[in-house]
Amino acid sequence: MALGFWAQHRVSTAYAKWSRVGSRCGYTGAAVASAILRSAGIDDVDIVEIPGHLTDHYDPANKRLALSSENYRGTSLAALGVAAHESGHALQDKVAYPALHLRMGLIPVTNIACTLLPYLMFGGFVLRMFGLLYLGVAGYLLLAVFQFITLPVEFDASRRALQHLEGLGLLQRDELVGARDTLKAAAWTYVAAFIAAFGNLIYLLVALSGGRSRN
């Protein structure tokens, strides 16, 4: 939990810092995303503006790159870094990056697990229906695997983003510091999510082990 709070604070601080620093090129996040996709020969992905703060994402199923208004219209180093990162996912999709498609395949069952886990924990610990806790172990194991697979997907997208920002001349070398710092801070949120899922799994296993030893 502490790492999670720290990671959220880190990304909020980094984004706020670099969103105040404009890029020399003056391009918007949408323009940068378009340039990256065009350079990779991708012409079937829609770049759209969505509401919310840092709600940016890439949807492989619908070939849709969604950028929050602040990044879609923004010209800051932070905005361009985020837009390039989401473009990195589109590049992964084009080359059939294995981890991306494995992660996408796990999303439906992971969503089901997230919905059921609170009820399983309540039934197991409060109602003393301990059999439900074993289902909880399976759920947290699935979440841990999902978050673990997410790590290389996000790290690789950021790597591709920085390469294209520099390679296409969208950002100068000294400007890459801002984009890199923003993406590195965001990466910590994925690390924290994996540690949280893994920690919950270990806690539940220890609780079950303690219950068996008392019996």
Q: Return the active site residues.
A: 86
Residue-wise burial string across 79-113, b where 16 or more C-beta atoms lie within 10 A, e elsewhere: bbbbbbbbbbbbbbbeeebebbeebeebeeebeeb
- Under 8 Å between Cβ of 36 and 168: yes
Q: Is 212 helix (H, G, I), strand (E, B) or coil?
A: helix
Cα angle: 114, vertex 61, 102; to 5 degrees: 60
Tokens read off for 12: 């909020």
> How far is residue 93's CA from residue 58's CA, in Å, rounded to a whole number?
10
Helix (H, G, I), strand (E, B) or coil at 46: strand
